[in-house]
Structure 1
């Protein structure tokens, strides 16, 4: 089924490149195979497909034969290697502020990812959850992220600090059990519905060693500006979808036509969509999918009418598109959905 592609800033990839270089390993031996061109990465704020980054972490572990690579990288990586969000969080006054910044400004760091922070009875919990059905190995990258957060908290709470409890969405590499236990503590649950760290009240109040009130205010200001910009770009994507859907009955609109509808130039629209981690072609495909799926699910319109409403001139072309989106032909999807709905009623 079609989904928006999650994106992540390039900071972790640049940190991995530095770590491998210190180990006399050239990241360029594996990066191109994962769909990452290292020659264009000079900015930790650049957005990359999360799938490609996850593949790179898995490939780096496999090619070096180092199962503990994500743990070693978390220890090796420079403070603030995740760009603006990293520097903002690390300049926060307390561990609580650090965790609140990670959660609140997470859309700057990664898209299509649920991240949150909450407190109950003085105990804090930060959690993150990726998209379901992600068909790439996330184990190495997810372990690196969790270990990095713990390392930053340990900078404030001491080298032996462990969370009250922790969960990971995935398992851990065979051979890392003891080190993971020392880092995450005895109350770690694997293959959970989200990754999380639960932090005791005393630790939440501890000052961050890199706390800086002036820098924190500056980073927070820029972070809020960037969040506002991201929100505007998300709104733009919604407007583009609406413009495409309005025109689908009469034509499959071009980039130039949709740009005119939303009031920007074609070049500006393509650039802003790329900044949002997508493209005009992808939004067009997603919109056609959404229209087709809704009509198949909610109406009894003939398949040719659904095809026409989705912007397809022939039923055969429409059927091929639905197979690509839903892994089944449209008639089968409609029958299957109606059967499930009947079972639930």
Structure 2
């Protein structure tokens, strides 16, 4: 087994880290406090090719691997999760459906702008009655005279309401026992983006409900074969879990970074608190668990790059890293003491951002189901 990153991947890791420290860190608190979408950062990341890392160059992507994509997400989340989830949701949920299931015309029309970050993609699955029970989709689309008419609602959708949002790919019932995916461009009549949610964390990312009222799109906006929507979105969720797992690793590492730096600086009883065994135990446990979670996440990405089945490993990585992110963020706040409760310290933001990693892209309970079924239980 070979654990070293190749030169290209290591260069990407260093470059993203330098960008995150130099460009994201100075504005992260302000973006979070003002709930401002990071347009300037997205534009810069698009110019650097990071909005299309895992997609081939012939469709406008950077020609990178899933592992490289995961590492980039990890490095961004190490500094700020709002920026990381914007890239993660765009790549995994917004762009992957077009790349995997779109026809040649759909790919030609959409992928160049998506991979360059000029447009953001979104994926509309979750509904008021279809969250963990993803197959219970109520949104309906009927085909008549070459036009789909869509009625329904989606919720908790990322990247659909920004000034650079391009489309949302939504699941809809196109028959009694039939789910399909449809591409709905922003600006389509009858498609409305609601107000952004007031959230605990991820405040600088765009998350809002969507409604479709007699919304009409042409027949050729069907994504892939009719009736294959359920199978398609399960595959998309598997891919998405790798990105979310990378976010968990990054947030946990960022929490450790902040906790260690503070512990070395903070003086109590005549010495830095990093000298106390109670603090050392926390730091050692965090570091050990993060390394284990990182290897599991990288394995899931590697399996996908090898064309092998990665569903089980992606679910395990997502389960492990979400819980770890919550635990590391909590420990980092504890090490900071009262300062950990103050917004000026990044660990306060990390603590708020962490919890969603046990919910989004499939709750922990859903991951248990996925893992146990893969085990044959």
Structure whose alpha-carbon radius of gyration is higher = 1
Whether these two folds match at TM > 0.5 is no
TM-score range, shorter chain: 0.3 to 0.5
TM-score (norm 2): 0.31
